[in-house]
């Protein structure tokens, strides 16, 4: 199971990568494996406000449906439009081409409340 050490994680299996004041958000390799083939992703509109650990979308997989929770608060500045035609890119490349939204972060202090790779690994291997 791939858990990159340079990312932060939620207990709900989202990851976040912060570059400058923009956070890129997706779901983890573990999450995509548990969900199985992803059929579609309901995305927020660009400009929408998201709250830390607030719901921002839904992911429908063959085996289950799951809500998506934002690791950080902020304004949605980009969504991965490629997911419309090829949602299974999340299964193939969860930390790369399978990113879901980008958020302009309002409070960098929130990152301290997220899990590091080691902390997240403990959750999924417990």
| Contact footprint for other proteins (CB under 8 A) | 33, 36-37, 39-40, 42, 58, 60, 62-63, 65, 88, 91
Cβ-based nearer residue to other proteins, 58 or 113: 58
Least CB distance to other proteins at residue 124 (A):
15
Three-state secondary structure string covering the chain = CCCCCCCEECCCCEEEEEECCEEEEEECHHHHHHHCCEEEEECCCCCCEECCCCEEEEEEECCCEEEEECCCCEEEEEECHHHCCCCCHHHHCCCCCCCCEEEEECCHHHHHHCECHHHHHHHHHC
Residue with smaller CB distance to other proteins, 54 or 116: 54
Of 62 and 126, nearer to other proteins (C-beta) is 62
In the bound complex, what is the minimum distance in angstroms from residue 42's beta carbon to other proteins?
Answer: 8
């Amino acid at each position: 199971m791939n858990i990159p050490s340079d990312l932060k994680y939620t207990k709900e299996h989202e990851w976040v990568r912060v570059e400058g004041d923009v956070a890129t958000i997706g779901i983890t390799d573990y999450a995509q494996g548990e969900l199985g083939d992803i059929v579609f992703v309901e995305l927020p509109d660009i400009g929408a406000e998201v709250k830390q650990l607030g719901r921002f979308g839904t992911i429908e997989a063959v085996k289950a449906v799951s809500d998506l929770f934002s690791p950080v608060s902020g304004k949605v500045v980009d969504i991965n439009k490629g997911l419309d035609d090829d949602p299974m890119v999340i299964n193939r490349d969860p930390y790369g081409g399978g990113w879901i939204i980008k958020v302009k972060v309002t409070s960098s202090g929130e990152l301290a409340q997220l899990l590091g790779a080691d902390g997240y690994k403990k959750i999924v291997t417990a």
